Chain A
Amino acid sequence: MRAIRHIAVNVFRESVRDKVLYNLVFFAVLLISASYLLGQLTAGQDVKIIKDLGLAATSIFGLFIAVFIGIGLVSKEVERRSVYGVLAKPVRRHEFVLGKYLGLVLTLAVNIAVMAVALYLVLGYMAWMTPANVQAAWDAPALDPALLKAVFLIFVELCLITAVALFFSTFSSSILSAVLTFGMFVAGHFDADLKNFDQVVASPAAGALARGMYYVLPNLASFDVKADVVHGQPVPWALMGLATGYGLVYIAMLVLAAMFIFSRRDFK
């Protein structure tokens, strides 16, 4: 357990050293400048658009961190041969993989938490500057706590993407891992189309195959409640629980698979 914690903290420190957290500055500048400019361009939709922009930017920045750091978690250590030094210490291979994963999850958690705070600050300022009669017309209040539901599910989705990146990085090169992870991200958002594929193809076999893929591929659309939250639509806790449970199970499966592959890998 200590070994896992040490590795996780080191991954976080390394990401700080790699200036990954600089994206937070960019995020803040983006939101502040957008909040100023959008008022002139959006015919009264600035708060809605800031929410859309803030949630999308949280997701996109997190996606890039998850993919580009996730793919290097293991493969970079192997390519640089630094893995030998680590594994020569009393660290088991599965602890190494788990520690790497948790370290990146910690990095993502810090990033997303800071971005959420920045988003609320900008929205709070906009609410403060807006007359009450205009606020009454908004679909949802600017400082709607329900935004946190969307932020939380973005975090779960990014944890899953990190697990995908880690899984691929245990047996392929960095570039291939990045391509496969991005492919999985796109496919995961179109997953629902596979479910009804049998309605557009004549072959029952193709329909059954598509339906099978629907259940095997990660259904990332189930974590996307951004539009509901922005429009003030209710997001039931049951849906949150099911999506989180699904995400955790899928993550556990991928991390387990990554640990298995890494533990069997021959470094000679």
Chain B
Amino acid sequence: MQPSTRSTAVFAVAIAALMGASVVLQIARDRATPASHETARYLYLRSGTVIEHLAVAYQTLVADAYWIRAIQHYGGDRLSSGGSGRYELLYPLLDITTTLDPRFTIAYRFGAIFLAEAPPGGPGRPDQAVALLRKGMRAEPDKWQYVLDIGFVYYWQLREPAAAARWFRRASTIPGSPNWLEPLAAAMLVQGGDRRSSRFLWQQIRATADQEWLRNLADRRLLQLQAMDQIDQLQQIVTEFDRRSPPIRLTWEHLYRAGVVRGVPLDPAGTPYALDPIRGTVMMSPASPLFPLPAEPAAAKAPNS
């Protein structure tokens, strides 16, 4: 072996050994001191304007970085269990993203849906969702989608069908908007936001969704609406059984033995429905991926909680 070849081999082996040693030490350190996730919850700069200046000529790239952080923050909190004040950075992160890149359409629409979402799926802040969408409307007045989304927040989260109808009507006046907005606004004013309107709205969103997460969300909402229909039907059956039978602790087993149901009823996600044995109330199980349903108490307490 040539001396130079030998020395190269020695160096290569030494470098590889040191690299391996550093990896081993890093693993040992991580085991000894579990990493804190607290640092990720800080936002040192909250002013989009300041960050815009600091980014010099690369605002859109920095906006992308904040967008990725918003996704991670939302995803991380959604997957983690418990804790109060969660998703607290979602609005500032999306606000910074849209200040740096005012045409970042998906950031407004993502915010509209997930900021308004009740806990545990979101912070339950429809006010912030509307504020973000209004910002989008100022940046791009010809985007009917932002106006539709505001109407949607009023309809779905704030339960104000009249206000929602006004926004849907406003969206329908913007060139390029779909022709189903005007009849939807009219139906909402007449029917006051019934489940049929919800289903229609989510079906339209699913059909026109260009993002996978939006399609998934629409699918989930449609399954929740289906579950609400099933709960209504089951509730009728249970109430009727309870009225006819002597006072007992109501369970699905009793109902099955009495031949009222054909087994433990499952929600569209495959989780058994819960049955309050005293009051005889049929509910969505908290273990279900579809929990909470929009009309249930956990969702209703959402605004500003």
Chain A residues within CB distance 8 Å of chain B: 38, 41-45, 48-49, 52-53, 56, 59-60, 133-134, 136-137, 139, 185-186, 189-190, 220-221, 224, 226-227, 230-231, 233
Cβ 8 A contact of B72, one of A41, A49, A52: A41
**Is the pair B106, A59 in contact by a Cβ cutoff of 8 Å?**
no
**A134 CA to B53 CA, complexed, in Å:** 33
Q: List 18 additional A-B contacts (Cβ < 8 Å) besides A43-B110, A53-B64.
A: A42-B68, A43-B106, A43-B213, A44-B210, A44-B211, A48-B64, A49-B64, A49-B67, A56-B60, A59-B57, A136-B210, A137-B210, A139-B105, A226-B57, A227-B59, A230-B60, A231-B103, A233-B103
Give A35 to B103 CA distance when docked, in angstroms.
Answer: 22
Q: Are A56 and B67 in contact, CB atoms less than 8 angstroms apart?
A: no
Interface size on B, residues (CB 8 A): 22
- Point out the residue from B56, B67, B101, B103 that lies within 8 Å of A42, measured CB to CB: B67
Known: A136-B210, A137-B210. A45 touches B106 (CB 8 A): yes
Judge if B30 is at the interface, Cβ distance under 8 Å. Answer: no
Report the bound CA distance from A224 to B180 in whole Å.
40
Are B210 and A53 in contact, CB atoms less than 8 angstroms apart? no
**Chain B residues within an 8 Å CB radius of A41:** 68, 71-72
- The 10 A-B pairs of least Cβ separation, nearest first, read A137-B210, A56-B61, A231-B103, A49-B64, A44-B211, A52-B60, A227-B60, A56-B58, A52-B61, A189-B57
CA distance A215 to B71 in the complex (A): 42
> CB-CB < 8 A to B68: which residues of A?
38, 41-42, 49
Residue from the list B59, B101, B110, B210 in contact with A134, Cβ < 8 A:
B210
In the complex, A204→B206 CA distance in Å? 57
Nearest A residue to B102 via CB reads A227
**Contacts A41-B72, A134-B210, A227-B103: A52 and B53 contacting too (C-beta < 8 A)?**
no
Contact A44 B106 (CB under 8 A): yes
Residue B38 is within 8 A (CB to CB) of chain A in the complex: no
Name the residue in B61, B63, B101, B212 with the highest tally of chain A Cβ atoms < 10 Å from its Cβ.
B61
Cα–Cα, bound, A28→B56 (Å): 24
Q: Is B211 within 8 A of A137, CB to CB?
A: yes
Q: What's the A-B contact tally at a CB cutoff of 8 Å?
A: 62
Contact B71 A42 (CB under 8 A): yes
Contacting A at CB under 8 A, from B49-107, are 53, 56-61, 63-64, 67-68, 71-72, 101, 103, 105-106
Report B136 CB to chain A, min CB distance, Å. 13
Complex CA–CA separation, A189 to B59 (angstroms): 11
User: How many angstroms from the CA of A20 to the CA of B68 in the assembled complex?
Assistant: 31
B101 vs chain A, min Cβ distance (A): 6
- Neighbouring A residues of B58 by C-beta, 8 Å: 56, 59-60
Complex Cα gap A189–B58 (Å): 10
Residue with the greatest number of chain B CB neighbours at <10 A, chosen from A43, A56, A134, A190: A43
Asked if residues B60 and A226 are in contact (CB atoms below 8 Å), the reply is yes
Q: In the assembled complex, which residues on chain A have CB atoms less than 8 Å from the CB atom of B63?
A: 52
Considering the complex, give the chain B residue whose CB is closest to the CB of A227.
Answer: B60
B61 engages A53 (CB within 8 Å): yes
Taking a contact as CB atoms under 8 Å apart, the answer to whether A44 and B103 are in contact is no
Give the distance to chain A from B108, nearest Cβ to Cβ, in Å. Answer: 13
Closest chain B CB from A123 CB (angstroms): 15
Would you give the shortest CB distance from A141 to chain B, in whole angstroms? Answer: 14
Closest residue of A by beta carbon distance from B64: A49
Roughly how many angstroms separate A137 CA and B215 CA in the complex, as a whole number?
A: 13
Q: How far is the CB of A189 from chain B (nearest CB, A)?
A: 5
Closest B residue to A185 by beta carbon equals B56
- Provide the residues of chain A in CB contact with B67, threshold 8 Å: 42, 45, 49
From A137, A139, A186, give the contact of B56 (CB < 8 A): A186
Query: How far is A53 from B60 in the complex, measured between Cα atoms in Å?
Result: 9
Q: Given A59-B58, A186-B56, is A43 in contact with B64 using a C-beta cutoff of 8 Å?
A: no
Residues of B within 8 A of A133 (CB): 210
Chain A residues with CB below 8 A from B60, complex form? 52, 56, 226-227, 230
Contacts of A221 in B (CB 8 A): 57
B57 and A220: CB pair below 8 A? yes
- A111–B212 CA distance with the chains assembled, in angstroms: 37
Q: Report the Cα distance A56→B59, complex, angstroms.
A: 9
* CA gap between A56 and B64 in the complex, in Å: 12
Chain B residues within 8 Å of A42, by CB = 64, 67-68, 71
A45 lies within 8 A of B64 (CB): yes
C-alpha spacing A49/B72, complex, angstroms: 16
CB distance from B124 to the nearest CB of A (A): 21
Cβ–Cβ < 8 Å partners of A48 in chain B = 64
- Please, how many angstroms separate the alpha-carbon atoms of A81 and B211 in the complex? 62
Closest to B213 in A: A43
Docked Cα-Cα span, A223 to B69, in Å, equals 29
Which of A44, A59, A185 interacts with B212 by CB under 8 Å? Answer: A44
Across-interface contacts of A186 in B (CB, < 8 A): 56
Q: Given A41-B71, A42-B71 in contact, is the A189-B61 Cβ separation under 8 Å?
A: no
Closest A residue to B63 using CB positions: A52
- Name the distance in Å between B146's Cβ and chain A's nearest Cβ: 15
Most buried by B among A53, A185, A227: A227
User: Inside 8 A of B212's CB, which chain A residues have their CB?
Assistant: 43-44
Identify which of A43, A224, A230 contacts B57 (C-beta below 8 A). A224
